[in-house]
A = this chain, B = another copy of it.
């Protein structure tokens, strides 16, 4: 029987909607953002609630295509579509939107969102080369600019001490998430990919981070407890799949679902909502300036928008070892150029260097290729 604590995450999104509305009535602002590069610590220190708006559902894509090209990635179209159709309650209650110049699609989409004038849209300028001192300086200045913008817009003061406190909270959250992901280092695994994805997706809407951390730790506690009593997900023969590539969330989880319907198990996800960021902590004592530490932390996110993106390959290699992976699926949303091209290097690592089975899937949010995907995934699992 599944861990009972999973139930706590089921309606988290709806519960948080209520919590955010209540907070807003007390004058607390809600700030929507679209990417893990957005430094949530600064938003929290400004006394506001950060909430991820990154679109993971197909519903509003048709509306988005009235303004945006069809051959754009579904994530960008979904995010924009949710905004302009006012279908996303979290966009609707957001007092302010923060965008980031991550990929070409998002970067230009934010211009349209600004043009629509529905909400104030503030865009952070992300450098593209991670290991360059000029990039760090530019990004540091961007964090400073955001801090000053929020201080001015929300009439607050963001102190270093308060920033350090928020950094501590986010550290705890990452630690709790990593603890949950790391349960699957056990063989057989302890949590399914679908459940993992669900938990990490739902927690993204958490208004009160500390209670979110408690929820994550309670779930991990319960699973560990059950594991001591012999609980596993799958058995020793279950194929252990690592999912990497573009971000996945509720509504865009079809590949995870298919793998698990076909008898495999997505024991680890390197994607955005997955392991990609959970190891990133700020060592609060390492530098007197918390913004410096934050800039350093966020520039370490191994996203394919960075060039070169060696950190992703290092992380994948480590994860493949630690999670005892049998095969890797690299997922690309259609027209996501950076992940699509970077798949060349992921394939080289997995197939050529590590000699493991590798499957690159390119799809979108529609259900039209579900059976084709199922056949390909089945064949992949059989091949392992």
Contact = CB atoms under 8 A, between A and B. Distances in A.
Contacts of A160: none
Nearest to A304: B108
Interface residues of A, number: 46
Contact of A112 (B69, B71, B101, B344): B344
Interface string A108-150: 1111101100000001011111001011011001100000000
Contact of A341 (B69, B137, B341): B69
Nearest to A343: B69
Nearest to A114: B308
A345 B105 contact: no
A145 to B, nearest CB: 8
A174 interface: no
Interface string A327-362: 000001011011011111100000000000000001
A105 B111 CA distance: 20
A269 to B, nearest CB: 22
A107 interface: yes
A301 interface: no
19 contacts: A68-B344, A69-B341, A71-B71, A71-B335, A72-B337, A101-B128, A101-B307, A104-B337, A105-B337, A108-B304, A115-B345, A125-B128, A125-B129, A125-B132, A134-B138, A134-B141, A135-B138, A138-B138, A335-B335
Interface in A270-325: 304-305, 307-308
A236 to B, nearest CB: 37
Interface in A75-121: 101, 103-105, 107-112, 114-115
Nearest to A126: B128
A244 B225 CA distance: 64
Contacts of A341: 68-69, 72, 105, 108-109, 111-112
A342 B111 CA distance: 9
A14 interface: no
A67 interface: yes
A105 B68 CA distance: 19
A309 to B, nearest CB: 8
Contact of A69 (B109, B138, B337): B337
B345 A307 contact: no
Interface of A: 67-69, 71-72, 101, 103-105, 107-112, 114-115, 123, 125-129, 132, 134-135, 137-138, 141-142, 304-305, 307-308, 332, 334-335, 337-338, 340-345, 362
B123 A127 contact: no
A87 to B, nearest CB: 21
A275 to B, nearest CB: 22
A104 B104 contact: yes
A318 to B, nearest CB: 21
Contacts of A125: 127-129, 132, 134-135
Given A134-B138, A138-B138, A69 B362 contact: yes
Given A304-B108, A307-B111, A71 B127 contact: no
A142 B138 contact: no
A138 B332 CA distance: 31
Contacts of A127: 125, 127, 138
A78 to B, nearest CB: 15
Please name the 8 residue pairs, one residue from A and one from B, whose CB atoms are nearest each other, closest first.
Answer: A108-B341, A104-B337, A69-B340, A125-B129, A104-B104, A101-B128, A134-B141, A134-B138
